[in-house]
Amino acid sequence: MSLATILGVLFGFGLFILSVVLSTDNYSTFIDGASFIMVLGGTFAATFVSYEPRYVFSALRVMGSIVFHSEITRGILTHEVGRIIRWGYVIQKTGMPGLETDAQRIRRQDRFLGFGIDLVISGYTGQEVREILANTVESTFQRQTVPANILRNMGATAPAFGMIGTLVGLIIMLDHMGTDPSALGPGLAVALVTTLYGVLAQRLVFLPASSKIRQREEIIRFRNYLVTEGLALLAERKSPRYIQDKMNSYLDPAIHFSIDRMRGREQPKDEE
């Protein structure tokens, strides 16, 4: 579970609730079913008009996934470099058949990596591997960020329907003002609640979810480009040392992979 995401949501709504509790005893003023329906219903209605239903439902499913950690971390990037380097040694010793055997399990677990390994084994040049996998990376990124774009659109739509609800409330309030002037204050409060709901939905739900989904996909895209470069270097039969230095150039120096450290860890096993 992503503790930071959960705490962020709870903290955001908690601050709002706390400010209400500290400011008034009439908590029911901030609860209005008609305003909630106007904002949420109007936002979903406009979204279904703008996008195909399957994309909207997909966006809602993905929004629920932001409470989980991204699978791509700094440590995993270092691990990817080490794996490519190990395959470099395998190719030096046994050639492409050795790579095909060694990577058999990972090819079933990671479709992108499996596709790249197939390109290397098929005999494509390094530049051809780069071009093909770059197209795969970008097309995948565009598909996977569609939910983020939909949620961003919903974030832009929610305040607009909040304002529409406020205008509807003001019209009703002004229509009754001549008969009951005492209802002016409560009526105005109810009208403004709709705008409040719209802004809360935008700033605490839709836009944060959109940003997190896009950020995670950008991290995955970076990982895939890192793997792409490594596979291209394997296709070019570059030495493991060159592969290390080239792939490390993509990473923060604090997480660079070191062949020398790897050998140092393996040395005690050899001595046994």
Q: Read off the pLDDT of residues 87-133 as tens digits, 9 standing for 90 and up.
A: 999 999 999 999 999 998 888 889 999 999 999 999 999 999 999 99
Sequence-distant (≥ 6) Cβ neighbours of residue 257 within 8 angstroms: 78, 81, 82, 85, 244, 247, 248, 251
Q: How many domains in the chain?
A: 1
Q: Is 263 exposed, middle or buried (0-12, 13-18, 19+ CB in 10 A)?
A: exposed
Q: For 62-73, what is each residue's pLDDT tens digit?
A: 998 888 766 678
Sequence-distant (≥ 6) Cβ neighbours of residue 102 within 8 angstroms: 86, 87, 90
64 part of a folded domain: yes
Residue 110 has phi, psi (to 5 degrees) of: -125, 105
Q: What length does the chain have?
A: 272
Domain of 218 in residue numbering reads as 32-261
d(CA 97, CA 146): 39
Q: What is the pLDDT along the chain (272 residues), one digit of tens a residue?
A: 678 888 998 999 999 999 999 988 888 889 989 899 999 999 999 999 999 999 999 999 999 888 876 667 888 999 999 999 999 999 999 999 999 999 988 888 899 999 999 999 999 999 999 999 999 999 999 999 999 999 999 999 999 999 998 998 888 888 777 676 766 776 777 789 999 999 999 999 999 999 999 999 999 999 999 999 999 999 999 999 999 999 999 999 999 999 988 665 554 343 33
Amino acid at 83: R
d(CA 200, CA 203): 5
Q: What sign does the CA torsion over 257, 258, 262, 265 have? A: negative
21 part of a folded domain: no
Sequence-distant (≥ 6) Cβ neighbours of residue 43 within 8 angstroms: 154, 157, 158, 161, 201
d(CA 240, CA 218): 27
136 part of a folded domain: yes
133 part of a folded domain: yes
42 part of a folded domain: yes
10 part of a folded domain: no
Helices (H) and strands (E) in the chain, counts: 12, 0
18 part of a folded domain: no
Return the structure tokens found at 23.
Answer: 């400011």
191 part of a folded domain: yes
